[in-house]
Amino acid sequence: MPKKVFLSLNYPQLAIDMLQQAGFDITINKSNDPIPQEELINICKDYNALLSTGSNKIDAYFLKSCQHLDIISQFAVGYDNIDVKAAQQCGIIIGNAPGAMTEATADVAFGLMIMVSRKMIHMHKTIEKGQWKHFVPTANLGFELDGKTLGVLGLGTIGMTMAKRCKAAYGMDILYHNRSKNQEAEEKLGAQYVSFDDLLTRSDVISVHSNLTEETKGLFNKDAFDKMKKSAIFINTARGGIHNEADLISALKSGSIWGAGLDVTNPEPMQPNNPLLQMENVAVLPHIGSSTVEARNEMARMSALNIIDFYKTGKIPYPVT
């Protein structure tokens, strides 16, 4: 009997082809609407493996209800939707797709930084509203990034790629705060490890690239924004839960920071009446960090391979431990 795999969304064809060619019996949620937890538990009763994504709530309750699953392979690098400890207790293997969206996400962080520094989204909206009338020498001024200081929270592969772009394009000085020191960044980019407080007080642009954990949850709150430079830009392409959105709105309104660029919001999706969408020095995107053909295909390859290799060898190439 072929092993049965449930695909919680309509993932790229590459994943489907790989699984079918390897002989799996697959079912796809073609609707692309996230399946509510209780319904997914019921569906999974008939399957051996699940190809999941960030919108599937795979908590202790889900895992206890689906202890028969052999493997859950996540179509993402982040797995904050999965209770990994509970999965281990249930003997369920968890895999993910690390590194698949490094370039794509760093591009979004870099793009947001430029968009915010020049109020690009706001300026685009003024044309739509018929407000482009004539040249005003002192209106709509942004600021230049050349020679500024970038502060990275979480200097892993995506943070490093963003730092490389900022160094190459603008000669920016790189500060970082991390769980451990990043030797490569120090040698190649002259990056300097600093305390979280130093990161806040010394950076002109802060870009968040860390995982959402108990340690990072709500880390960018009123206290943090108050310590940042009034001229600073806050960029978050990691997880919305790392910033407190009400505090971010207040910080922007009161001028304790200058601007913000978000590809992740808290909560998601952001509601259309969110005040951030009306602010001049803000750019918000709907979590498109990994939305490139290259990244999505690599995510598909890695997440399918986790399942294929597991049933072939008992081991997976991209485990979450």
With residues binned 3-state (H G I as helix, E B as strand, rest as coil), the percentages for the chain, rounded to 5, are 40, 15, 45
CA distance 108 to 114: 10
Closest CB to ligand 8YV among 29 and 203? 29
Q: How far is the CB of 33 from ligand 8YV (least distance, A)?
A: 14
Q: How far is the CB of 75 from ligand 8YV (least distance, A)?
A: 6
Find the catalytic residue in 122, 239, 243, 296: 239
Burial class from Cβ neighbours inside 10 Å (0-12, 13-18, 19+) for residue 273 reads exposed
Q: How far is the CB of 112 from ligand 8YV (least distance, A)?
A: 15
Catalytic residue check, 214:
no
Under the phi-then-psi rule, with left for phi > 0, alpha for psi from -120 to 50, and beta for the rest, what region is 53? beta
Interacting residues of 176 by C-beta distance below 8 A, sequence separation 6+ = 151, 152, 153, 155, 159, 163, 182, 185, 191, 192, 193, 194, 199
Find the catalytic residue in 38, 184, 215, 268: 268
CA distance 252 to 235: 13
Dihedral sign of CA atoms 85, 94, 36, 80 in order? positive
Closest CB to ligand 8YV among 78 and 261? 78
- Which residues of this protein are in contact with ligand 8YV, per CB under 6 A? 53-54, 75-78, 101, 287, 289-290
Find the catalytic residue in 118, 165, 287, 296: 287
Catalytic residue check, 301:
no
Catalytic residue check, 280:
no
**Tokens for 61?**
């309750």
Q: How far is the CB of 165 from ligand 8YV (least distance, A)?
A: 19
List residues with catalytic annotation: 239, 268, 287
